[in-house]
Chains A and B, each alone.
Chain A
Amino acid sequence: GAVVSQHPSWVICKSGTSVKIECRSLDFQATTMFWYRQFPKQSLMLMATSNEGSKATYEQGVEKDKFLINHASLTLSTLTVTSAHPEDSSFYICSAREREKTYEQYFGPGTRLTVT
């Protein structure tokens, strides 16, 4: 149980285009989903927290107009990187928290984004 999928697993796009990454909880309802970014040899850095049906809460320094997050249902959250630039190239990973389980997060496998 507690499986989270993420799609695509890797994507290459051209500078100026937008890319959408999907995060799905497959066998549970996720009231809260988290989006992280990881640069090589660094920690997972929280970008934003999204609760189903409400606007995402972004961490300081994360541009909400650039990284659009939608959590339209209890099983799906999306991250859209708009007008991507090479510096947006990174590893993006989502996690989901099951209703009433406050400690645990279940992670997707991540998405490697390369912007050329």
Chain B
Amino acid sequence: ILNVEQSPQSLHVQEGDSTNFTCSFPSSNFYALHWYRWETAKSPEALFVMTLNGDEKKKGRISATLNTKEGYSYLYIKGSQPEDSATYLCAHTGGFKTIFGAGTRLFVKA
């Protein structure tokens, strides 16, 4: 994998559902993996920065895991709420550059 790929592109869930997204990135030359939450008309907000293989981070109902050897990260949202509706971006920092995925657009229906 040469680029950062995120799946799915979009996701519709019901309030209360738990969900997860995938970020795939080049496994070589790894420095850091970032997750951002981006609401419409606002600035992307940093959720997590992970640097070590096996890292797990948690903030409230949102958590993330990192596997640098196989080049993927998962973002989990437990008990989705309408306010979780946003685009979730991941970005891989390797060498001196940070490359972004196209994002996963989450819609949570009340």
Contact = CB atoms under 8 A, between A and B. Distances in A.
Contacts of A105: 34, 46, 98
Contacts of A42: 102
Contact of B46 (A43, A45, A93, A104): A104
Interface string B1-36: 001100001000000000000000000000010101
Given A44-B100, A103-B51, A4 B93 contact: no
Given A43-B102, A46-B98, A103-B93, A109 B41 contact: yes
Contacts of A45: 100
Contact of B32 (A41, A103, A107, A110): A103
A104 B49 CA distance: 8
Given A44-B89, A103-B32, A103-B49, A4 B100 contact: no
A104 B98 CA distance: 10
A5 B31 CA distance: 28
Contact of A43 (B4, B43, B44): B4
Interface residues of A, number: 18
B34 A103 contact: yes
A41 B46 contact: no
A7 to B, nearest CB: 13
Contacts of B36: 107
A44 B93 CA distance: 14
B59 interface: no
A107 B100 contact: no
Interface string A21-48: 0000000000000001000011111100
B94 interface: no
21 contacts: A9-B41, A36-B100, A41-B9, A43-B3, A43-B99, A43-B100, A43-B101, A44-B100, A45-B100, A46-B97, A46-B98, A103-B49, A103-B93, A104-B46, A105-B34, A105-B98, A106-B46, A107-B43, A109-B41, A109-B43, A110-B43
Interface centre among B4, B34, B46 (most CB of A within 10 A): B46
Interface in B59-110: 89, 93, 97-103
Contact of B43 (A36, A103, A108): A108
